[in-house]
Amino acid sequence: MGALPVTLLIVAAVLVVFVAALILQATGLQSATGDLKTLASAAAFKSEVPHTPPKHIPLQEPSFDPTTNSLTDEDINRKLAGFATRNEVEESIEFLTSRGYVPPDVLEMYRNYPEEVLQALGNDGDLAALAVLAGQYAEKDYDQFKNAVLKSIVYGSISFAQVQADLYSTQSEFELANPNGGNSELAKLDFLLSLSWYEFIKMRGGGEAVTQLIDARIAKSAFTISPADRATIQSQGAAIYAELSNERQRLGVGEYDNSVPPGLENFLALIGIY
C-alpha cells in the first residue's frame, strides 16, 4: 500500500492538541495568574511532525510531607477543588517531555538549528532534536524519517511509540477500505501490530489507561480478537521491548527507566498517556 496521506495525520495531531488543551482547561491545570506556560506549551502534546507509515516489521493524591513541603493558599484551593498544584503540573510537564511529548515552543526553537546540529543532538538522545529531524525527513526521506522515529523510541520517547501504534492502526483501516479489494489478513496483522506497540507502552510504565485503550480499540475494530490474538499482541509487544532494549545496551545507555514519579499517576491517566 502506498504512503498514507500526510494531511490526514497532521489533522489527527491537531485534534490531539485541541483535546489535550480542553482537558487541561476543564481541570484547572492552567495558571489563573498567567505566570505558568500557556496551554499550548504546558500540555504534553504529541509531536507536530507529519508522519509517513512504517514498513511492516516482524488523581491518586500526591504524598505531602508538611515538614519538607509547603502549599500556597492557591495550591490549597486547587487541591480542595480536585486540581493539580503548580508544582505537580510542572513535574508532569518535565516528566512527559522526557517521554518525548515536547512542548511546541521548544520544537519551534529547535527548528532554528542546522540539520547537522540536530543530528549531533539526536545522536546523544535529544528527543526534541529527533522530533524536528523526523518532521524534516517525513516527506523527503523515508529511511531517515524511520531512523529518527526509532532512535527517538530507543532513547525513551513514548510519543513516537504512540505514533507507531497509530500508523499501523491507520494502515489497517486503509487496507480494509481499499476500493480494489483490501487484504483483511494483512489488515488484521497491522491492527495487531498497532496494539503490540501499545503493549510496549504498557511495559514502559503505562497503566490502566493504556489497558483500557487497547480494549476500546479491540471493541471498535472490524476484527474478532481471540485469546490467541491477545497472546500475539503481548508477545509482539515484549519482542519490540527486547529489541529496543538491546539497542539501548549497544548504545551504552542502560535499561529503560519505566518508573512514574509518585503522585503523577492520576494526571497522566487523565490525559490518556499512562
240-262 pLDDT, tens digit each: 999 999 999 999 999 999 988 87
- Torsion (CA) 185, 191, 195, 200 in degrees, nearest 10: 80
Tell me the average pLDDT across 174-184: 85
The CA angle 222-224-230, to the nearest 5 degrees, is 120
Confidence label for 93 from pLDDT (cuts 50, 70 and 90):
confident
In the structure, what pLDDT confidence band is assigned to residue 5 with cuts at 50, 70 and 90?
very low
Query: Which secondary structure element, helix H or strand E, spans residue 73, and what is its range?
Result: helix 73-80
Please give the model's pTM, rounded to 2 decimal places: 0.71
What proportion of the chain, given as a percentage, has pLDDT over 70?
68
Proportion of the chain above pLDDT 90, given as a percent: 49
Q: How many residues does the chain have?
A: 274
Distance of CA 4 to the CA centre of its chain: 20
Identify which of 105, 132, 129, 108 has the alpha carbon closest to the alpha carbon of residue 43: 105
